């Protein structure tokens, strides 16, 4: 647990690489999806977290405000705070690790899927000085296009309450959509997307990749037309993705762990 900048107690997990002291480590920030979900140790991305720790990275999972399991007030504190107080909880967690000497401030990356993918893009756009690189997996790039696509198949009242309304909250959504602040992003990024994703439309990744390339930001795009929402379900696609992530992190964080691709 560490306090956020406004004094809110924020909980999470820190997984350390085996056999290394907790000093000056390369760190992966790994925000969960949802965003109204939470990280619990025995579930979620356990295999990915262990893989990263095995490769020499410390992994920080923050149950930022809006996460479930901490009471109604903590849940609702995240409403309409995407990219704002919610993102600050991630930022403050990183800065806590830096202040404690655990994190090497020059070797910090952020990885996430779905809402976590949005948090990656928001982190790179709104706190560009904090991260050396990022990996956004099927992440929302613009709340305007996301809400428009979502409205085609679901009732929107809950989403307007929790995210914002595209007309009434236009200023908020403009402020918090990473696509509209792409000029701030200056570090390499890997983006992955499934072509049959019904929740985060492929347009979210397509438009972000195009905008990043327009800004001459180094971007790697992994696209599998047959995949839906979530971590790729086909084993060969999953291996393809994580081999690419492993190589990407080794290049941009210069971890001292093994850089040999797994599964091959």
Q: Are strands 103-113 and 25-29 parallel, antiparallel or unpaired?
A: parallel
Q: Which residues are catalytic?
A: 114, 197, 229
Host H or E run for residue 197: none
Q: Are strands 25-29 and 2-3 parallel, antiparallel or unpaired?
A: unpaired
DSSP annotation of 222 reads E
Exposure of 128 in the CB half-sphere (CA atoms within 13 A): 12
Give the residue among 222, 257, 251 at the shortest CA–CA distance from 113: 222
Give the residue among 225, 131, 224 at the shortest CA–CA distance from 178: 131
Which parts of 75-124 are beta strand (E)?
103-113
């Amino acid at each position: 647990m560490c306090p956020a900048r406004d004094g809110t107690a924020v909980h999470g997990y820190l997984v350390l690489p085996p056999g290394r002291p907790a000093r000056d480590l390369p760190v992966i920030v790994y925000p969960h999806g949802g965003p109204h979900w939470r990280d619990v140790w025995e579930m979620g991305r356990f295999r990915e977290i262990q893989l990263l720790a095995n490769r020499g990275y410390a992994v920080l999972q923050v149950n930022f405000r809006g996460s479930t399991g901490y009471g109604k007030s903590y849940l609702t504190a995240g409403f309409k705070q995407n990219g704002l107080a919610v993102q600050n909880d991630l930022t403050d967690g990183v800065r806590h690790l830096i202040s404690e000497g655990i994190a090497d401030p020059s070797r910090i990356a952020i990885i996430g899927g779905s809402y976590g993918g949005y948090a990656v893009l928001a982190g790179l756009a709104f706190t560009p000085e904090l991260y050396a690189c990022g990996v956004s997996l099927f992440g929302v790039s613009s709340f305007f296009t996301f809400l428009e696509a979502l409205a085609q198949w679901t009732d929107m009242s809950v989403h307007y309450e929790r995210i914002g309304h595209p007309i009434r909250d236009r200023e908020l959504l403009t402020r918090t959509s990473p696509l509209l602040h792409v000029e701030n992003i200056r570090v390499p990024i890997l983006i992955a997307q499934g072509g049959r994703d019904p929740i985060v439309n492929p347009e979210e990744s397509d438009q972000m990749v195009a905008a990043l390339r327009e800004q001459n930001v180094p971007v790697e795009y992994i696209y599998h037309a047959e995949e839906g929402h979530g971590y790729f379900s086909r084993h060969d696609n999953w291996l393809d993705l994580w081999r690419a992530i492993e190589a990407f992190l080794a290049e941009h964080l210069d971890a001292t762990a093994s850089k040999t691709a797994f599964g091959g």
